Amino acid sequence: MPATPRKARNFGHSAAHQRLMMANLAASLFAAEGIVTTEAKAKALRPIAEKLITKAKKAQEGEPLRIHRIRQIQGYLGDKEMTAKLVGDVAPRYMDRNGGYLRILKLGPRQGDNAQMARIELV
């Protein structure tokens, strides 16, 4: 019997490790506003980071769920400073934009192992 197909990419580790890796990549992305990583990780990071930015935008709008949305972001990132930067600095820039907050630029292969590299940055 064939294995059940998976929706998400598999980076060779447990699900918990992959979630933490994506959280660290997202925190680094928001801190530097652009990072260089492998193309596969950049493509996997894009929907996660865009959903976090959307949550931060919604935290700007309404008061009733503001604290809840900020706590959801902080629960994923695990970093108060990056949560504050995302909600206070990054999200207000995109209030008039309906998605497409990130750009992935392909850089070519890495010299050591020939892995395809990409730069993911905030638009």
- Domain carrying residue 19: 15-122
Domains in the chain, number: 1
- Domain contains 5: no
Strand, helix or coil for residue 116:
strand
- Domain contains 7: no
- Domain contains 10: no
Q: What CATH number should be reported for the domain holding residue 23?
A: 3.90.1030.10
Q: What percent of the chain has pLDDT over 90?
A: 83
Q: Is a pLDDT exceeding 80 seen at residue 8? A: no
Sign of the CA dihedral with 11 first, then 16, 19, and 23 last = negative
Tell if the pTM clears 0.85, that is, is over it: yes
- Domain contains 25: yes
- The reported pLDDT for the residue numbered 3 is 66
Residue 57 makes CB contacts below 8 A (sequence gap 6+) with: 91, 94, 95
- Residues 58-75, mean pLDDT to the nearest whole number: 91
Token match 């890495």: residue? 110
- Residues 70-99, mean pLDDT to the nearest whole number: 95
Q: Which pLDDT band, with edges at 50, 70 and 90, does 1 fall under? A: low
**CA dist list (Å): 83 to 65, 74, 101, 114:** 16, 6, 17, 34
Q: Show the tokens assigned to 88.
A: 């206070």
